[in-house]
Chains A and B, each alone.
Chain A
Amino acid sequence: MKWGMVIDLQKCTGCGECVAACKLENNVAIVEPKESEMGRTMLWMDMLTVYEGEYPRLRVRQFPRPCMHCDHPPCTKVCPVRATYKNEEGIVAQIYPQCIGCRYCMAACPYTVKSFNWYKPEWAPGIRETVNPDVSVRQVGVVEKCTFCVHRLQKAKEQAKSEGRNLREGDFQTACAESCPAGAIVFGDLENTGHRVNSLSRSPRATRLLEDLGTEPKVIYLKEVD
């Protein structure tokens, strides 16, 4: 089992629904505008913008960026306390109570996907009710990141177990994949030929970010065709 994600950039409209869904699903803290200006916006799923060409022939492309869940993650190699590690299903996980906040993993990540809790996360009174009880709220001073909504996997596994069957495709979806109005994000088991991600990952349009670094990301992008 090797969980992975395919993001079809042909379908993606850059609407940002996945960014919002991720933020709500995972209780990612909302920082004050002043902090945000300093570069402390916390996003597990980010929308990156690429500018191609020069004005006036400028072309703007956008692509969603979750954690790449590398098969050879540079972040787990350097963690001094095993707070970040790759689990047996390929998910790069973070143990929040064990993280000492040295930010070495952030410095080592070539995709810059990890966020740090510079302050104690706080929710405005109205928003506090939306906090997802399935996901722990991270403390101040720890590094956090996209987990491929591992809490949903947990639930799906238990559900499947109680029904006495194996996990099926569609039992488990990440919040971003579920929310994408264009169906651009597909999630599943890359090793299972029955899953859509498996066939999509072998598409001629398939590409991965910074492939030359040898990190072997498990997030696969399908290129746009002009």
Chain B
Amino acid sequence: MEKAPAAPHPEYDLLRPIENPGKSFYYIVAVLLAIILYTGYVYIRQVYYGLGVTGMAQPVTWGFYIINFVFFIGISHAGTLISAILRLSKAEWRRPITRMAEVITAIVLAIGGLHPIIDLGRPDRMTHLFYNGRLQSPLLWDIVSITAYFTASTVYLYIPMIPDIAILRDRGVKPRWLYEFLSWSWQGTEQQHKVLDRAMNILMVVVIPIAVSVHTIISYIFAMTVQPGWHSTIFGPYFVVGAIFSGIAAILVLMIVFRKVFHLERYLKLIHFNYLSVLLLIMSLLWFYFTFSEYLTGFYGHEPNEMRVFMYKFSGAFAPYFWTMVTCNFLLPLILLSNRKTRTIPGILIASISVIIGMWLERLIIVVPSLANPRLPYPTGIYIPTHTEWMLFLGGVSVFILGYMMFARFFPVISVWEIQEGRHESAKTVTERISSYMPDPQPRYTGSMENE
């Protein structure tokens, strides 16, 4: 059944990476696999010796693993929220970017969800969570919501992919069994399209509250304790805003990379970057608003323990990180993105990378200083991550890159059928839609309003 693809597909650019991956793909995969294998060794070593191989100690008992957990789950908000909200609001420009965002969600969520397990002193007792689990513990809420989020977002990623998988199946791309199995005998009939649309509509409405709940609950892990710096009512929305913020930055970086590597300039146009970077700028302002509110209330309350943590961040040992965070999350994006001259692809890339770094620092600044300043007179703790923690962080990032590359190797990162649908139909439907909510050209004095 060896058959070369027939006539070039109209969206050839999108299918080329799958039909003809090229050599450099395998080199990068080899490097990533080497890093991941080494990370696996480091983790097994940690399981064998105990968490002593990390830099955590009393009183800073949570370190990189929890920071990265919050960070990765935050990034995962790229997909579902961007794609679901844009789909829901019928923003036509979303078409080339929704899938890229959804893939981020699925992969990063899997990595982020593993971090609490990496953090466990006794990972062999994980099953206790099921038969001894206490639903009163915010950690259990977290397991429930992350599982729900992972399920919903993978289904939400997969369902709109079915027509594309069918295209690959029909073109005889190898491995055929994979596409035949995953395409679910999609023929593109009207009935099938109806079912698909309905499933997508249900999922995108369901996924938004789940995504909001996930990061709210992660903030609750901290906010439910009485620790200074954590016990805050603003934490839920603050974490959600931060998550979407870092998620948009992540998708922008990926879009720029894919545009360059796969030559997708035809699909990812400047207008997409422009719209998304304005969204990033808005999130940056929102982030600043939340941060400002959070710290100002702490400062005016002037509760001694709260102030100790506050000063530790503002002028103490954590000041360099704190002010770098403010620069990365607020000053730099504000300068780069509010100016039309710097809101170019390189400018957006710099702003996005700076936001990703800044948001990671934010997690660090939330987790460590509160633990490092216990209320009773203990010697203040210093947390210095070891090689093990750095490796597991690097390994997590490698798994993400590898996962994304494997996805791009087998499936189109830009939804082919949605682009085609957009080409054929959306111009008409958008015109109709606009005319439906525009004021009527002439007032009609028919005497009744029943018809409208």
Enumerate chain A interface residues (CB-CB to B < 8 A): 35, 38-41, 48-51, 65, 74, 77-83, 98-104, 106-108, 110-112, 115-120, 139-143, 209-210, 213
Nearest CB of chain B from residue A42's CB, rounded to whole Å: 9
Return chain B residues, CB-CB under 8 Å to A108: 224-227
Whether B435 sits at the interface, judged by CB under 8 Å, is no
CB within 8 A of B61: which of A51, A82, A103? A103
Contact A40 B225 (CB under 8 A): no
Cα–Cα, bound, A88→B169 (Å) = 65
Contact B61 A116 (CB under 8 A): yes
Whether B22 sits at the interface, judged by CB under 8 Å, is no
Cα–Cα, bound, A117→B221 (Å) = 22
A100 and B120 in contact, given A48-B376, A81-B132, A112-B376 (Cβ under 8 angstroms): yes
Return chain B residues, CB-CB under 8 Å to A104: 137, 139, 221
Contact A116 B58 (CB under 8 A): yes
Contact B51 A110 (CB under 8 A): no
Extra inter-chain contacts (16) besides given A49-B377, A110-B227, A111-B375, CB under 8 Å: A50-B377, A74-B225, A78-B137, A78-B224, A78-B225, A79-B137, A80-B129, A99-B122, A100-B120, A107-B227, A115-B58, A116-B51, A118-B50, A120-B49, A140-B121, A142-B122
CB within 8 A of B121: which of A78, A117, A210, A213? A117
CB within 8 A of A140: which of B50, B225, B226? B50
Return chain A residues, CB-CB under 8 Å to B126: 100
Contact with A along B42-72 (1 / 0, CB 8 A): 0000000111100111111110000000000
Cα–Cα, bound, A112→B225 (Å) = 13
Cα–Cα, bound, A38→B60 (Å) = 10
Enumerate chain B interface residues (CB-CB to A < 8 A): 49-52, 55-62, 116, 119-123, 125-126, 128-129, 132-134, 136-140, 221, 224-227, 371, 374-379, 381-382
Contact B122 A39 (CB under 8 A): no
Residue in B49, B132, B227 with the greatest tally of chain A CB atoms within 10 Å: B132
Cα–Cα, bound, A43→B139 (Å) = 27
Cα–Cα, bound, A171→B156 (Å) = 65
Return chain B residues, CB-CB under 8 Å to A40: 52, 57-58
What are 14 A-B residue pairs whose CB atoms fall within 8 Å in the complex? A39-B59, A51-B377, A77-B224, A80-B139, A82-B132, A99-B125, A101-B121, A104-B221, A106-B58, A108-B225, A110-B227, A111-B376, A118-B51, A141-B120
Return chain A residues, CB-CB under 8 Å to B57: 38-40, 118
Cα–Cα, bound, A142→B58 (Å) = 14
Contact A100 B122 (CB under 8 A): yes
Return chain B residues, CB-CB under 8 Å to A118: 50-52, 56-57
CB within 8 A of A119: which of B50, B132, B371, B382? B50
Contact B121 A39 (CB under 8 A): no
Return chain A residues, CB-CB under 8 Å to B374: 110, 112
Cα–Cα, bound, A111→B375 (Å) = 7
Residue in A82, A100, A116 with the greatest tally of chain B CB atoms within 10 Å: A100
Contact B62 A107 (CB under 8 A): yes
Return chain A residues, CB-CB under 8 Å to B376: 48, 65, 111-112, 209-210
Nearest CB of chain B from residue A56's CB, rounded to whole Å: 20
A103 and B121 in contact, given A39-B58, A74-B225, A78-B225 (Cβ under 8 angstroms): yes
Return chain A residues, CB-CB under 8 Å to B58: 39-41, 106, 112, 115-116
Cα–Cα, bound, A79→B140 (Å) = 9
Contact A116 B129 (CB under 8 A): no
Contact B139 A78 (CB under 8 A): yes
Return chain A residues, CB-CB under 8 Å to B49: 119-120, 140
Cα–Cα, bound, A112→B134 (Å) = 23
Residue ID in chain A nearest B374 by CB atoms? A112
Return chain A residues, CB-CB under 8 Å to B139: 78, 80, 102, 104
Cα–Cα, bound, A115→B58 (Å) = 8
Nearest CB of chain A from residue B191's CB, rounded to whole Å: 46
Return chain A residues, CB-CB under 8 Å to B132: 81-83, 98
A101 and B226 in contact, given A107-B371, A118-B51 (Cβ under 8 angstroms): no
Return chain B residues, CB-CB under 8 Å to A141: 50-51, 120-122
Cα–Cα, bound, A78→B139 (Å) = 8
Nearest CB of chain B from residue A143's CB, rounded to whole Å: 8
Nearest CB of chain A from residue B152's CB, rounded to whole Å: 23
Contact A74 B121 (CB under 8 A): no
Contact A35 B52 (CB under 8 A): yes
Residue ID in chain A nearest B379 by CB atoms? A39
Residue ID in chain A nearest B230 by CB atoms? A107
Question: When A and B form their complex, which 8 residue pairs have the shortest distance between CB atoms, in order from nearest?
Answer: A101-B121, A141-B121, A118-B52, A39-B57, A80-B139, A119-B52, A140-B50, A80-B137
Contact A101 B137 (CB under 8 A): no
Contact B129 A82 (CB under 8 A): no
Nearest CB of chain B from residue A152's CB, rounded to whole Å: 26
Nearest CB of chain B from residue A139's CB, rounded to whole Å: 8
Return chain B residues, CB-CB under 8 Å to A51: 377
Cα–Cα, bound, A100→B122 (Å) = 5
Residue ID in chain B nearest A139 by CB atoms? B122
Return chain A residues, CB-CB under 8 Å to B382: 39
Cα–Cα, bound, A112→B376 (Å) = 8
Return chain A residues, CB-CB under 8 Å to B225: 74, 78, 107-108
Cα–Cα, bound, A63→B72 (Å) = 42
